[in-house]
Amino acid sequence: MNTREETSVSEPRVYTETGSLADGRQVHYFNTTADARRASFADKRDLGERAEAGQLRYDPLRDEWIAVSAGRNARPQLPVACPLCPSEGHELTEIPAPDYEVAVFENRFPSFGGALPETGAPVPETGAPGLEISVPATGRCEVVCFSSQHEASFVDLPPERVELVVRTLARRTADLSARGDVAQVFCFENRGVEIGVTLHHPHGQIYGYPYVTPHTRRHLEAAARHREATGRNLFGDLLASERTGPRVVAANDLWTAFVPYAARWPFEVHLYPNERFADLAELPEEYISAFAPLYLEVLRRFDGAFRADASCEPGPMPYMAGWHQAPVNEHRDLAWLRLELVSTRRAAGKVKFLASSESVMGGFVNDLGPEQAARTLRDAL
Ligand SMILES: [Zn+2]
């Protein structure tokens, strides 16, 4: 059953259509025009049953949940045709329509969710007795295609498309937050073989976690202590301090991009809206419009970081970009929406690996001074 819906997320309007894939997963199209009619194209593949849902196992030492998704290992070799390109002739992909602007579909081999009922599944709680605690890995994993153009890259998208991508993420955040089994929504993009990307079609992902992630818990605990001690918002104080400091990389009236004082990664930039919003669904239209050119500028600065090094051809900067959003149901008054952009490249042709200190002890060693990284990025264009 296909549905079409005019959403009122923002002006200009986003037109959303939802269709079904052959195994029952949903595909959503986000259009800038009212008459795209993409959901009416049927998925003609024979996909069989949906993948079994995985498991969440509780680690009592770290007080963390680990998603164990053995089914993912059995996923078939990717077909020769890119599964994120639009379907064309006999080349049938995850996107049944012959073209699209931005498309989102449920991951076929998800870490969370899968062949589980949409709602009503238990949200895991820590503190239960026993040492071997597991629950079904509820939640949701989605793939976000930024463009139907296989060879495109996010940094080359026009600002209007970046805006549509952000509106798409805002809409998915709102929809996933309304499910009963999602505690936090994480929107992210990995780029580059150094990060482990195997599909080159420009795309990101959305994880609807059934729990609040360890980093978010720690950030919000720190923010709660800061409010208790000062009455102020920790993220707001950090932003105010950085805005006048030596590590700003780029800024406009509504956003500030800076390398944090205690960066973990050789190149790490945080993009804050200058006002507090809990998540993308709260972000006003003028902030979306102001974000697009600033983020594209920061990505161009990333790509230009090693351009001056004549000794090698470093290629596009590998990166991980993820939105920090408030949990769905707790501490939303403390959270501050922001994007974290990090690269594992520390020099032209050199990658920082997470070795023993980082991986076993959690003790990060940054080989590049944050002030130096900010200078390099400021000089990169
Ligand atoms: Zn493709």
Describe the chain by its helix, strand, coil percentages, rounded to 5.
25, 25, 50
Quote the DSSP letter at residue 75: P
Give me 283's structure tokens. 């972000």
Least confident among 131-145, 162-176, 305-319: 305-319
Give the rounded percent of residues in the chain with a pLDDT score beyond 70: 88
Tell which residue, 281, 27, 95, has the closest CA to residue 172: 281
For ligand 1, the distance from its centroid to the CA atom of residue 85, given in whole angstroms, is: 4
Tell which residue, 335, 320, 189, has the closest CA to residue 272: 335
For ligand 1, the distance from its centroid to the CA atom of residue 353, given in whole angstroms, is: 29
Question: Could you report the per-residue pLDDT of 57-108, keeping only the tens digit for each?
Answer: 999 899 999 999 876 655 555 556 799 999 998 899 999 999 999 999 999 9
Counting other chains too, the contacts that 352-360 makes at CB distance below 8 Å and 24 or more residues apart are: 352/265, 352/266
Q: Is the pTM of this model over 0.85?
A: yes
Q: How confident is the model at residue 36 (pLDDT cuts 50, 70, 90)?
A: very high
C-alpha dist (Å) from residue 225 to 220, 277, 330:
9, 20, 15
Beta pairing partners, 251: 256
Going from N- to C-terminal start, the domains of the chain cover 3-211, 215-378
For ligand 1, the distance from its centroid to the CA atom of residue 93, given in whole angstroms, is: 9
Question: Could you report the per-residue pLDDT of 102-126, keeping only the tens digit for each?
Answer: 999 999 988 888 776 555 555 566 5
Is 203 marked active-site? yes
CA dihedral 211, 361, 110, 141 (to 10 degrees): 50
- pLDDT for the residue numbered 313: 66
Question: Could you report the per-residue pLDDT of 266-297, keeping only the tens digit for each?
Answer: 999 999 999 999 999 999 999 999 999 999 99
Reply yes or no on domain 3-211 having CATH 1.10.8.50: no
Q: How confident is the model at residue 10 (pLDDT cuts 50, 70, 90)?
A: very low
For ligand 1, the distance from its centroid to the CA atom of residue 55, given in whole angstroms, is: 31
C-alpha dist (Å) from residue 368 to 40, 135, 247, 296:
52, 41, 13, 23
- pLDDT for the residue numbered 347: 83
Give me 342's structure tokens. 């990090």
For ligand 1, the distance from its centroid to the CA atom of residue 148, given in whole angstroms, is: 7
- pLDDT for the residue numbered 316: 83
For ligand 1, the distance from its centroid to the CA atom of residue 165, given in whole angstroms, is: 17
Beta pairing partners, 19: 27
pLDDT(3) > 60: no
For ligand 1, the distance from its centroid to the CA atom of residue 80, given in whole angstroms, is: 10
C-alpha dist (Å) from residue 361 to 66, 126, 214, 228:
18, 23, 15, 30
For ligand 1, the distance from its centroid to the CA atom of residue 82, given in whole angstroms, is: 4
Q: Within 13 Å and on the Cβ side, how many CA atoms surround 67?
A: 22
Residue from 203, 219, 226, 324 carrying the catalytic annotation = 203
Identify residue 127 by its one-letter amino acid code: G
- pLDDT for the residue numbered 79: 53
Helices (H) and strands (E) in the chain, counts: 7, 17
- Look up the CATH superfamily of 215-378: HIT-like (3.30.428.10)
pLDDT(340) > 80: yes
d(CA 59, CA 346): 32
Burial of 185 (0-12, 13-18, 19+ CB in 10 A): buried
d(CA 213, CA 187): 13
- Mean pLDDT across the stretch 164-179? 97
pLDDT(259) > 70: yes
